[in-house]
Amino acid sequence: MLKLNRLSPYQLLVLGFLAVIVTGGILLSTPWAVKGGNVDVSLAFFTATSAVCVTGLVAVDTATHWTFSGQLVIMLLIQVGGLGIMAFATFFALLLGKRIHLKQRLVLQQALGKNSIEGIVNIFRYLLIFSFCIELAGTLILTLHWLPAMGFKKALWYGLFHSISAFNNAGFDLFGNFASLTAYTTDITVNLVISSLLIIGGIGFVVIYEIFNYKKIKRLSLHSRVVLITTAGLIIAGTLVIFASEYNHAFRHLPLGGKILASYFQAVTPRTAGFNTVDLNSLLLSTQLLIISLMFVGGSPGSTAGGIKTSTFAVLGLAIYSILKGKRDTEVFGRRIAHQEVARALAIALLGLFIIFMVTFLVALTHQADLIKILFEVTSALGTVGLSLGLTPELNQLGRILIMITMFFGRVGPLTIGYALAYRQKQPEMRYPEGKIMLG
């Protein structure tokens, strides 16, 4: 029998996600979850994996294939997967008045990507309250906006589902025909509400906590400053490049305001939301490659987003700059970044690239599709984005399994899984003599 007290925080985190995926897959495999009652177990587990990993890649249309009960299960899986299994475990423990022990605090620390356990329970308490308030606000605005066209019940359900899906960066939608938000390309309310939820959910809860407590703490940590600047830079740069590329192409029929709005939304959504307001197949190859790059970077640590994370991208950029400048240390804002952190960032990026290459290679072996289409899908899975050029519904059983594994790696993190597999309770303390290898 598995003894949980002997497991590392990494192993508990991995097992927690697996347990929720299995539970969701079983629930979606029941006849009451599927319209018509024709159950496909592999499809149910694929959808559960996509929901828990807040990815949004779907092999069938969410609106037409699943019943209301099935959609409700998907929404709950998105909520649990987005905020994290340990967040809800902590929530119920606090409700029952139970004490959060050291082992649980270590798992919470790993889930948030925080460097210490100091104040970790308070951050999680704040995280849950803040998240529910933001989702409620998004639900209210979207419900009122859709009320005249949909009626109260449908508008409320759509507002709630899409608010939770957006804040958790999941990308699931209920508009049918795999259309996502293409009917709202120039709708300012839908674009701004959804994109705001995406950004807030993907910026990281530690950053949000520091921003809202700025008057008390009087400063932002180095992590928060790097994340905010990198996030803003990627959104602005992405918007400008997409606007310039698609001005006279995919956006040619839109008014100027619509072009700007579409460019902005398509720059935000790869980080890592899964919604789109234009047909991605209509975009230029160069724009699709840019979106792949943004999906690979993803959101920020301790958030509902995936990817290698903005902080990893920033550290790698700073390290390259330092090397080119001949500096011994990687520096930013008058602070030195530890060599171990630079090595960790490099490991995350290289592991991500290796997984993308291997899965792309394996999918290409069994599917006759354009390389860009396969690469787009695989990167979207690893970045837990959910954007697609239409390959997911065409996947065979092997393709689905490969994408499911990729989504799981993307949500939990390759390093976390590696630590979970390699963990030993007692590690020998020894260091080998230093050696030299010629590089470059």
Let me know if residue 324 belongs to a domain: yes
Give the pTM. 0.86
Tally of domains within the chain: 1
Let me know if residue 436 belongs to a domain: no
48 contacts 77 by C-beta, under 8 angstroms: yes
Per-residue three-class SS string for 306-356: CCCCHHHHHHHHHHHHHHHCCCCCEEECCEEECHHHHHHHHHHHHHHHHHH
Buried b (16+ CB within 10 A) or exposed e, 88-100: bbbbebeeeeeeb
Let me know if residue 326 belongs to a domain: yes
Rounded distance between C-alpha atoms, residue 274 and residue 14, angstroms: 23
Let me know if residue 201 belongs to a domain: yes
Let me know if residue 140 belongs to a domain: yes
Boundaries of domain holding 186:
4-421
Let me know if residue 208 belongs to a domain: yes
Backbone angles phi, psi at 34, to 5 degrees: -120, 135
Let me know if residue 438 belongs to a domain: no
Backbone angles phi, psi at 387, to 5 degrees: -70, 145
pLDDT per residue rounded down to tens, the chain (440 residues): 445 556 555 666 677 788 889 999 999 999 999 988 788 899 999 999 999 888 888 888 998 999 999 999 999 999 888 876 555 555 544 444 555 555 455 555 555 555 555 555 666 677 778 888 999 999 999 999 999 999 999 999 999 999 999 998 888 999 877 778 889 999 999 999 999 999 998 888 778 888 887 877 778 888 889 999 999 999 999 999 999 999 999 999 999 999 999 999 999 999 778 899 999 999 999 999 999 999 999 888 877 778 888 989 999 999 999 989 888 888 888 888 888 889 888 988 998 999 999 999 999 998 888 899 999 999 999 988 989 898 988 888 899 999 999 998 888 776 565 555 554 545 556 666 766 666 55
Copy the structure tokens of residue 6.
């002997």
Let me know if residue 369 belongs to a domain: yes
